[in-house]
Structure 1
């Protein structure tokens, strides 16, 4: 499931407005208006691709005359040196869109690549059915793209926003208990008021909170920062009456053992808040002559 084109255009347009608010002064003063060029999107390191349509949108929005040939698809694995796309058209537009196209596709591919590593770490864990999911710890303004990147890496999405589900976390519970409100009663009241299509999740950090949450009718129970023994005990006591989510202390060294406890979902904030941008480059490998006369000005060496 890819991000809606309207959402892509909204995000990319905002990025272009930030990068060239009154135009690209360098290209407009240095590059002839009728010059054309061809460029290649090249991987400098191996990874998982995400953001192909976002990459293409940057060029399309700057100049609809620019053509983008997609040579790989979102979710594809690639090696260093692979050519992932080619771009051809007016040189000014290619140079103007280059940085935004790269920034977004590098960011998304970095998230997809890291997610794929987490998913691989739980694949094959005996008896595990755990899904690796993201969190709301995303870059402001880029949540839609980063959520797609998680999917492209083989992961799943948690709730998109505060409007999508009821999720009572530790600070919500602290406010309730400070006011002397019984947790089970509060949760039953929330369920009575919430739409019948909504989902109720509750985060706990101690096993002694579990009975009240079960009595309150939670659909998902998040066991936050539990050790492995307590995770196993939590799964046993819940006994299929709710989805069991593990969170906190999850990294590539610990996730397999967490999956082996029998939890249904493992949420990993690092998928988005700690992913580094993947190294992709846009190499101008041919510079053609003026578009007006259709003659080629000769090839230039690939630019460093």
Structure 2
């Protein structure tokens, strides 16, 4: 059977009020080193009220006057990322074999798709046809970081500030359970029924688990990178930690075998202190200064790396906030239903 004519790769971008970032995101994708005919871009808008839709329409009109990839925008009535990605499958031409996940507050290098294809080839040589997706490495946004952005970057760069998921910093190509910003094989996504729309957050992690359970392979490669704008205020940071913990519980309730001990270390530390206190140990409080000393070392380390003196205390503050909010979120996920996130507001 002849291969359908049209682009073989599609980048799908769910957005909601991303007018500050969407232009740089799309401009990076519109000027890639691969043939413009091999790639298309679909923006799924969840009801933006800040001018995002109008900005995308302007870019669509501008792209028509040059040799650019197809750029299209559609409404996403469901509003969530899972709804957007599932709905986008209906708009993709039959020629599309691979789907790249991005978000509106991210940017990529001009050879990003070329690097994606190389990463796929290398990974497929190892995994074979079972390969369902290849993730990439997430890096800090371009430009000078301001204020608490330094602290948050330092927190995420710390081994105490991330698991082996979205913000993991790695140097080798290999299998993984939770790849970030994945390029999926379309047929693999469709074979497991797409994204679970009950998940407002962690929908990509949940999909990865179903793909693995179905016998597919997931890899990651350090060469393709995505530059992501992260939170800029401590209030946003707290809300994000809570949201990630909340939805992590929802994922684990569905896929309990995917639990990792590192996710529960703050809670285990609390239980340790309580048990020491109940048993009458005079030094029951000792874990607290040890914990704070370790976090302070992380702050000093990041300060030496970045020459940002405020990181000495800022990074430990962000780590404490992350550990606390994530743990509260884990517990909250046991008793409450989910709702739309507010940590980007």
TM-score, length of structure 1 as denominator length: 0.26
Structure possessing the higher relative contact order (Cα contacts under 8 Å, 6 or more residues apart): 1
TM-score, length of structure 2 as denominator length: 0.24
Structure holding more helix per residue? 2
**The structure with more radius of gyration:** 1
